[in-house]
Amino acid sequence: MKIPEEFLDLFTKRAFGHLATLMPDGSPQVSPVWIDYDGKHLIVNSAKGRQKDRNISRDPRVAMDITDPDNPYRKLLLRGEVVETTTEGADEGIDQLSMKYNGTLYPNHRPADVRVIYKIKVKHVSH
């Protein structure tokens, strides 16, 4: 399922996503995340070992809401599944997202962190 064209501008703004993953007991866990869209998948970047990484590794089902920073009553609600996880290009990806959101390269690179890109296939959209 594609993102409706009238909401694609959210991916050019500094709109935060709120990513919901599932804890081992089935309860939801929500994290604010920087987001991108490649025309086919939502893109989220994190580090291995974080709670959302552990949750996605166990259960790839996710949900996300995105609120327009210029109009908090305009929102996009999505449900889907992480269909690809890769470390390839993840360091560069977090720098690109940081440039979008902060105007600088990602300032919190840590040598021990292994960055990960999650590609989310959207299965349900509402707004």
Sequence ranges of the domains in the chain: 5-126
Q: What is the number of other CB atoms lying within 10 angstroms of the CB of residue 123? A: 11
Mean pLDDT of 39-48: 96
pTM (two decimals): 0.94
pLDDT band of residue 88 (cuts 50, 70, 90) is: very high
What does the pLDDT read at residue 51? 97
Q: Is the pLDDT of residue 111 over 90?
A: no
DSSP string for residues in 76-103: EEEEEEEEEEE-TTHHHHHHHHHHHHHS
Cα–Cα distance, 32 to 18 (Å, whole number)? 4
Domain 5-126 maps to which CATH number in 1.20.200.10, 2.60.40.10, 3.40.1410.10, 2.30.110.10?
A: 2.30.110.10
Tokens 């959101």 correspond to: 101
